[in-house]
Every structure is written in C-alpha cells, then in structure tokens.
A and B are shown apart, each in its own frame.
Chain A
Amino acid sequence: MNRKIIRTLVKKEMLDVLRDKKTVIMMLVVPIILYPLIFVGVMQLMAFISSSMETQNYRIAVDAQDGDAFLQKLLERGETQRADTNDEQAEAAEGSGVGEAESESLYEITIIEAAAVSDYEAALNEETIDVYVLGRMQDGRMQYDAYYLNSVANSEYAAGIVMEAFDDLRADMTRQRIQAAGLNVHEILEPIGYEKENLASSEQSLGSIMGAVLPFMLIISLLMGTMYPAIDTTAGERERGTLETILTLPVTNRQLIVSKFITVAVIGMISALLNILSMGGIAVYMYEIMELQTDMGSFDMTKFVPAILVCMLSIFAFSLFISAVTMCVTSFAKSYKEANNYITPLMLVVMFVGYIGFIPNLELTQAMAMLPVANICLLIKNMLVFKVNYGIIAVVLVSNIAYAVVAILFLSKIYDSEAILFSEQKGGLQLFEKRSNLHKGGVPTVSDVWFVVAVTILLVLYVGSLLQMKYGLAGVLGTQLILLLVPLALVLYTKKDIRLTYGFAGTNAAGFLGGALLISGLYPVNIVLAGWLTRLFPESAGHVETAFSGILGDNVWAAFLVIALAPAVCEEMLFRGLILHSLKARYKAVWAIAVTAALFGAYHMSLVKFIPTGLLGLALCYVVWRTGSIYPAMLMHFLNNACSVIAAYFPEQVGRIFPVFLQDTVTFSDGMLLLGAGLVLAGVSGVLLKRCRKSV
C-alpha cells in the first residue's frame, strides 16, 4: 500500500511538473537547442575574430640607425606570408631558422616614417600606429626596442610579428657570421639534437581534455535540472494552495517527501542525461571537424566504456544527493520567490566545491571520496584518464547515496507540512523572520539549530581545513572559533536566552567531581576501544595519526591552549550547549542526548574515532543533563584532551607510568583491566552525579 501511494504521488508530481512550460524549457530546450546554438555561435565568433586579426593592416613605425636589414625582414614577413598561400613548400624548404608553421596569414604591413611620429606613446594610445621600433647602437651592437600596448589587440598582434622579424634577422646574421668565420653552421648552431615525445595514448589525451570539462558541466546541469522541480514540488505546491488538499489525504509526511524526492531526482537525471547527450553531440561534431583539419590519431571508444558506466552511476548517485540537498532548502520556503532566494547561495556553494575537482594533482583519497560534489568531479576526472580504484568508486557512490538518504529521512522527520502550511510559530526557521517579530528568551528552535549546524560544519569542512593546512595550530584555533561564533551569532540574532541555551548555570562540587571521575573512567575505556578499532580499520587510523601529529607544534602550552582548552569551551558550547538544549526543549531527553552524542562522534569525521568520541559525547551530555550545567562538561572535555596532549608531547614519561597507553595494540588482559577500572570509576561518578544538586 505504501509503495502504491508513493507511486501514485510520484506519477502526479511528474505530470504536474512536466506539464509546466518552465520545466520543459529547462529540461529540453536549453540542453538540446540552446547549448549547440551557443556553441556554434561561439565557434563562429572565434573564427571571425581570428580571421580579422590575420587580415589586418599593421602600421609599424621604425626609427633605427642602419635599420634597412630589419625593415627588409619585416617586409619579407608580410610578403612571404602572402606568398605562402601560393607556395607553402618553398618557404618551408628555405627554412627561416625559426620553425614557423603559421598558416594562411593575410596581414599587410605598412612602414611609417619615424619622423612622422613625434610622440610614439601618444600615437600608440591613439592607435595611429601599432608598434614603434627604436634601434640604436649600444656597446658595439644594435639594440632594438619595440614599444606596444598589450591592452590593444592589434598592437599586441603586431608586436608578435615584429618579434618574429627580429628572430629572422638574428638567425640570418648568426648564420652569416659563422660562415664568415669559416665554421660549419650546422655544427655550431645545433651541437645536439633533442625532441619530446608524448607517450600518452590518444584515449588518455582525449580523456584528460574531457576530464577538465565534463565533471563540472555534469554537476551544473544536474543542479539546474533539479532546482526547478525542487522548487515547484515544494514551495510551488504551497503557493498554489494544493498542499492543504494533499493534507486531507491519508498520506504521511514521509510518503509525501519521498515521492517528491523521487520526482525531483528522476527529472534531474533525465535533464542531466539530455545535457550529456547534447554535449556529446557537440564533442563528436568538434572531433569530426578537427579530424578533417589535423591528424589526431584514432580513438578506441570501447576503452571509455568503464568511464561512461561510472559516469552514469555518478549521475544517478549525484542526482539523488543534489535533489535531497535542494529539497532540504526549498521545503522550508513559503513561496517561489523565497525558494529562489534560498537556492542561490546553495548554487554558489556547489559550484565552488565543484571547482575543487579542478585543482591539479589533487588525489582522490578516502577522505576526499567523502567530500560531496568534489568527490564526483574527481572520480569522473580519474575515470577518464583510466585511473581506476574500485574501492574509491564505491566510497564515492555510496557516500553520495547515503548522504541523500540521510537528508531525506531527516527532512521527512522535520518537515512538518502542517506547520509550514498554517505557519505555526512552534519550531520552524526563525532565522529568516523579521528580527522585530522574534520574541526574547527561550532556546533556539530545532530547525534553526540544524540550519546553523549545517552551515557551521560546512565552514569547518572547507574554511577550517584550509586554515589548518596553512597555519597548523593557529588554524585549529580558527576552526574552534568558527564553531563558537557562528552558532553564537544565531543565538544573539534570534534573541535567545544565553544562559538557558548554553546551560551557564552553577552546580556544586559533586557535579564537577563526578564529571572528573567519569572522564577518568572513560579515558582508559576509550584507549582500549581505539586500540581495537585501529586493528579493524588500519587505514583510517593512520590517517587520524598523521593528521594529529601534523598540527602539533613545538610549544606545549600552545598545544594545551588550542587542543585542550579551546575545544573544551567552543565544542562544548556548540554540542552540549546549543544543540543539546534546543533538542531537549523539543524531544525527550534520551533522544536529545543520543542525537547530540552521535553528532559529536560524526563531527570527528573518522571511522576509528566515531565510537570513542560518540561515547565521550554521551558522557558529556549525561553530565550536563544531570547537573543542569555546562561547566562540568567543559572540565571533562579539557581533561580528556589534555591527556591526549600530554601523551603526545611526553611519550616517554607517560610510557614509564602507564605502558599500556603507548602500545599500538592493547592486549586482552590489559584491556579488561582498563575496562574494569573505567567501569568502577564511572560507577562511582554515577553515584556522585545522582547526589549532585541540579541547578534550575
């Protein structure tokens, strides 16, 4: 029944969207008619420009003592070029010394008397002359200077001709002088022979050219293809008043969202395929033309079959991803216009991340394979030059699909058609409300928090990692500041209660002591867990290891500040403050804690770290929940990270006291001992925390 309802809804959405002229224009007319037209137009224009450059008359003023030889070379250039069209072989046989393969240039050269030009700079600017050549005897030889303007196309082109004439002159004179000295011209001028040879197969060459264009075009066309249906099925439905009609039906929010998502993704895929086909057609056309003109070698198209297959799969995976993302944005818009406003920044972000795929020499590593948008670009690029790694392909495709599924499940959970329709004030994005309409106090709404968390995580991902790469420890501090300031801006803007939102409340000593005991119990447990996980996922662990040691500097105190103190404040305020408290205001405490902890684990973005940091998050949430204050959690977080810093800077001393901490793998007996000790400590802390006074 469920499937039948979704199928019916999808059919309805499809009909509804496809019968709209705007979609059809975006889907069919743009790729199939407009692209080829633009392309042919651009080609024509380029051909026109280059031919007009070649048929120009260039005016060159020459002021040189004894410049006859040069003048002759210059005129020869103009003339020989003209002669070329009749007799190309003759020129090649004559061998002007410089291997010019200029084709049918038709320009003319007019020599202007230097005396007629009083101020050459002004003349150049007025474009009455294109180049001014000044030749003087200097240190026993002629020194020629050619003045031109690189801002004027004709002048720049003419300067090129002048330089070629100089080359001719120099080659001639060199030859003459060598002959005059009675030496062998060939032996002197070319004592060695050399040549470079391209061993890339013609498929590889073609692939690398396509890899530079195809991924980006694919991403843009998918984005454009999904954008319109995403708006139409969400904000459009609301604006046309049919959302209320849908609400009268026995259909759940999830069925509604999933069916809209399927529609958007399918339309996106179709339009991307049409785009690709159209571009492919252009490429074939280009290829035919080039083949007529030049010898490009033949291609074995069957070699591209895997690349094309992966490309298709990528279109599939990415269309799911991009549809989910655009729908997350447009679903909360109340009108078309609003949805359009939300989409624009998203488009910029996607395009920006798409550019990452074009950074030369960027490897598609495991970590990169998880980075949306960029991973698709890199994957297609790699496939086209026949760099294949099935593991990575799987990671890219699966991660895209997984992001999409998570986003849609999440959207169907928080998308409340009723609230959106009847604009209930409870929940919802307040961030885009008029500020004067917001009332003071309380904690931020869950929707606001999700939005800001998403923005913050994106900033940390892109800006933060850049900062860390560039500035090391200081960059980490920058990341922490992003974590602190972006959400704080939301809290201040929406006029929320800082104390309530962040849990700035006092607690008694039992709270702090309990927290400290809990963390000292959890730390060894996490060490054991990390040891076991390292054995399970060695690759991921190695990545974490190098990333961590890469940012440590020489200064212990700086490391303490940045790695122990800053996260204890910034990460706590975000996770155990803003996220936990706003979730708790809306959902049951258990769920709020579980989601916050899982998010904290995921935030560390590593397979190995997920479970230990998730557990840490759980403990921190628990303490905040028991004590009603964020301060014990800050203390715990500080202690936890401080231990890591100490272990990293003083391995020997630590190793002497706790040998277990430094071994790569933990033996079973040691592990059990640590686990036991940890559990005892955690138990004691549990009792303490139960007795602590909960501040209100």
Chain B
Amino acid sequence: MIRADHLVKTFIRNEKKNRKSEIRAVDDISLTVKEGEIVGILGPNGAGKTTLLRMMSRLMRPTSGQVSIRIGEEEMTDEIEIKRHIGYLSNNTKLYGRLSARELLQMLGTIYGIPEQTVEERIGQIGRILSMDGFLDNRIEKLSTGQTQRASIARCLVHDPQVYIFDEPTLGLDIISSAAIIDFMKQERERGKTVLYSTHYMEEAEYLCDRIVMIHHGRIISEGTPAQLKEETKKDSLRDIFSGLVLSADGEEEQPGKRGGSER
C-alpha cells in the first residue's frame, strides 16, 4: 500500500522582471492505493500529475507532506526504503544506451541487494514475459522504440517491487505494445501488487482502473470508481465527465496565485 498525506509541491518561478511567483504544482493531495488495486490519475496537461507521481516515488522532495509505504505490518517513510519497493517508469527515465539490457538488469539487481542467483532467474523470467530473449544482450542504443520500452519495463520489474508507479506508460506506443503494458498491469494486480498510473487515454482508464482520481491545478477534483463517477455526474462516458469537471473547476477557481504549474 502506498499513501500520500497532504502532499504539496511549490515551484518558485520568475514570471516577469522582479516578480517572483510561487506555483503550487501539487496543492495538498492525499491519496491511498491499496494492494491489488489499480488507480489511474487523470488530468489535463500541467495539472500536476507528473509532479505528484515523482513525489510519491520519492524522486522529488515534497515541499510539505509525507509519503509512506506499507508492506504487511511494516510502514516505511525513509526515502531509500521507499525507493527499494517502488518500480517507477516515465518517459524521462532513459536507459544506459551503452549497456546491454542484461548488464543493466544485473547491475540494478545488485543495487537492490538481490542475490546474484535470484537476479539471473528473474532476468530469465522477465525475458520470457516481455519476450526480450532476442535482444537481451544487445546494446540498448541499438534497440527499436518498442524494444526499448520493454527494456524500460524490465528495469522496473527486476526487484519485484510491491508498488508500481507509471507516468503515462502507453504514451506514443502502438496498439500491440500498449496492450502488452495494460495486460502486464492487470497481471500484477492479480498478484496483489499496488499500481498507480497516469494517462490521457480515457477508454484505457475506464477499462483498467479500479479507482480514478481526477486532478486539476494540483488538486483532486473528483475521485471514485468509474461507476461512481458516472452516477455522480449523470454522464455515461468518462470523457464527458472529465471535460465537464475540468470546465466547472476552471469556472469556480478564479482566485489569483493558485495556478497549476506545467509538467516540469
């Protein structure tokens, strides 16, 4: 289980000469994802999705608030401990082009403190699951886009983490590749893993997610199962619900100084 308590991230940005403004990219978000659950984060560009996911995987220090992970009875808040149990994937996590996928996985295994024997076994398994056998020993810079994406996923799997955090994992992939990723997430849910991911694809979210969290300007504007959301808003497509919520939130929120930041 992963939990975010009142996470806030502010960036200081210079808008015009001599005027600095504080941007609350994530503005007091609390969120819990349980074992065996897939939660989808939806939101327009610049809503704070990436910042939220980065903070939850502890890549980024929250300005305030706390992230914790619970495995069994053990609760962890230490940055390094949390990282040990998370598999994080985004379009910005590039791989070492001059290493082969196998070398990369071996190295990561050692860093995660997994015994060598186990690492080798797991590399075999992962190679089979993601059908990477043909290119495990090629340099990553020589791989195709789809192969690279599979190597990236393999990177998140090597330590068999309890929690997956994926930032737009299917962005720009063809139907077959993204179907593979979706299947993978479903599989991991069956294994009792915790999955938190962000996407722009409504149909995908509706099909996959147990719960959907919509965020806008760094705040949660709505949250619930797809069915609950439909019932509340009396709309039957997630797409309509989403655009309706975003538009009404924009209408309400005219307070100055509380604008969401862009992705970075």
Chains A and B belong together in one complex: yes
Do the beta carbons of A1 and B97 come within 8 Å of each other? Answer: no
Once the chains are docked, how many angstroms separate the CA of A32 from the CA of B99?
27
What residues of A have a CB within 8 angstroms of the CB of B107 in the complex? Answer: 8, 11-12
What residues of B have a CB within 8 angstroms of the CB of A12 in the complex? Answer: 96, 99, 103, 107
Do the beta carbons of B93 and A241 come within 8 Å of each other? Answer: yes
Interface residues of B in 85-118 (CB under 8 A from A): 86, 88, 90, 92-99, 103, 107-108, 110-113
Q: Quick check: is A425 within 8 A (CB to CB) of the other chain?
A: yes
What residues of A have a CB within 8 angstroms of the CB of B98 in the complex? Answer: 15-16, 19-20
Once the chains are docked, how many angstroms separate the CA of A440 from the CA of B17?
9
Do the beta carbons of A250 and B264 come within 8 Å of each other? Answer: no
Given contacts A4-B110, A245-B93, A249-B111, contact A439 B60 (CB under 8 A): no
Q: Quick check: is B11 within 8 A (CB to CB) of the other chain?
A: yes
Once the chains are docked, how many angstroms separate the CA of A19 from the CA of B94?
18
Q: Quick check: is B194 within 8 A (CB to CB) of the other chain?
A: no
Q: Quick check: is B12 within 8 A (CB to CB) of the other chain?
A: yes
Given contacts A1-B113, A8-B110, A439-B18, contact A244 B13 (CB under 8 A): no
The residue of chain A having its C-beta at the shortest distance from the C-beta of B139 within the complex is A19
Once the chains are docked, how many angstroms separate the CA of A251 from the CA of B112?
9
Instruction: With both chains docked as a complex, state the minimum distance between the C-beta of B117 and any C-beta of chain A, in angstroms.
Output: 15
Interface residues of A in 405-452 (CB under 8 A from B): 418, 422-426, 436-440
Instruction: With both chains docked as a complex, state the minimum distance between the C-beta of A413 and any C-beta of chain B, in angstroms.
Output: 16
The residue of chain B having its C-beta at the shortest distance from the C-beta of A423 within the complex is B264
What residues of B have a CB within 8 angstroms of the CB of A15 in the complex? Answer: 98-99, 103
Once the chains are docked, how many angstroms separate the CA of A249 from the CA of B108?
8
Q: Quick check: is B204 within 8 A (CB to CB) of the other chain?
A: no
What residues of A have a CB within 8 angstroms of the CB of B20 in the complex? Answer: 439
* Secondary structure call for the A interface: loop
Interface residues of A in 491-507 (CB under 8 A from B): none
Once the chains are docked, how many angstroms separate the CA of A241 from the CA of B92?
6
Q: Mark A654-689, 1 if CB is under 8 A from B, else 0.
A: 000000000000000000000000000000000000
List the one stretch of B31-39, B76-84, B174-182, B223-231 in contact with chain A: B76-84
Do the beta carbons of B94 and A245 come within 8 Å of each other? Answer: yes
Do the beta carbons of B112 and A424 come within 8 Å of each other? Answer: no
What residues of A have a CB within 8 angstroms of the CB of B84 in the complex? Answer: 250
The residue of chain A having its C-beta at the shortest distance from the C-beta of B104 within the complex is A12
Q: Quick check: is A242 within 8 A (CB to CB) of the other chain?
A: yes
Q: Quick check: is A118 within 8 A (CB to CB) of the other chain?
A: no
Interface residues of A in 244-260 (CB under 8 A from B): 244-245, 247-252
Do the beta carbons of A252 and B80 come within 8 Å of each other? Answer: yes
Q: Quick check: is A212 within 8 A (CB to CB) of the other chain?
A: no
What residues of B have a CB within 8 angstroms of the CB of A1 in the complex? Answer: 113
Once the chains are docked, how many angstroms separate the CA of A423 from the CA of B103?
30
Do the beta carbons of B155 and A437 come within 8 Å of each other? Answer: no
Once the chains are docked, how many angstroms separate the CA of A407 from the CA of B45?
41
Q: Quick check: is B57 within 8 A (CB to CB) of the other chain?
A: yes
Do the beta carbons of A250 and B83 come within 8 Å of each other? Answer: yes
Do the beta carbons of A425 and B12 come within 8 Å of each other? Answer: yes
Interface residues of B in 1-40 (CB under 8 A from A): 11-14, 17-20
The residue of chain B having its C-beta at the shortest distance from the C-beta of A425 within the complex is B12
Once the chains are docked, how many angstroms separate the CA of A4 from the CA of B108?
12
Once the chains are docked, how many angstroms separate the CA of A560 from the CA of B90?
64
What residues of A have a CB within 8 angstroms of the CB of B81 in the complex? Answer: 250
Contact among A9, A244, A439 with B14 in the assembled complex (CB-CB below 8 Å): A439
Q: Quick check: is B200 within 8 A (CB to CB) of the other chain?
A: no
Q: Mark A222-256, 1 if CB is under 8 A from B, else 0.
A: 00000000000000000011101101111110000
Q: Quick check: is B59 within 8 A (CB to CB) of the other chain?
A: yes
Q: Quick check: is B61 within 8 A (CB to CB) of the other chain?
A: yes
What residues of A have a CB within 8 angstroms of the CB of B60 in the complex? Answer: 418, 422
The residue of chain A having its C-beta at the shortest distance from the C-beta of B97 within the complex is A240
The residue of chain B having its C-beta at the shortest distance from the C-beta of A4 within the complex is B110
Once the chains are docked, how many angstroms separate the CA of A436 from the CA of B88?
37
Do the beta carbons of B59 and A248 come within 8 Å of each other? Answer: yes
The residue of chain B having its C-beta at the shortest distance from the C-beta of A15 within the complex is B99
What residues of A have a CB within 8 angstroms of the CB of B13 in the complex? Answer: 425
Q: Quick check: is A5 within 8 A (CB to CB) of the other chain?
A: yes
Contact among A19, A244, A425 with B93 in the assembled complex (CB-CB below 8 Å): A244
Instruction: With both chains docked as a complex, state the minimum distance between the C-beta of B17 and any C-beta of chain A, in angstroms.
Output: 7
Do the beta carbons of B12 and A426 come within 8 Å of each other? Answer: yes
What residues of B have a CB within 8 angstroms of the CB of A4 in the complex? Answer: 110, 113
The residue of chain B having its C-beta at the shortest distance from the C-beta of A12 within the complex is B107
Interface residues of B in 111-155 (CB under 8 A from A): 111-113, 139, 155
Once the chains are docked, how many angstroms separate the CA of A9 from the CA of B99?
13
The residue of chain A having its C-beta at the shortest distance from the C-beta of B80 within the complex is A250
Do the beta carbons of A245 and B95 come within 8 Å of each other? Answer: yes
Which residues of B pack against A, CB within 8 Å? 11-14, 17-20, 54, 57, 59-61, 80-81, 83-84, 86, 88, 90, 92-99, 103, 107-108, 110-113, 139, 155, 264
Q: Could you list 14 further interchain pairs (A-B, Cβ under 8 angstroms) beyond the known A436-B17, A439-B18?
A: A5-B110, A12-B96, A19-B139, A240-B96, A242-B95, A242-B96, A245-B96, A248-B88, A252-B80, A418-B60, A418-B61, A422-B54, A439-B19, A440-B18
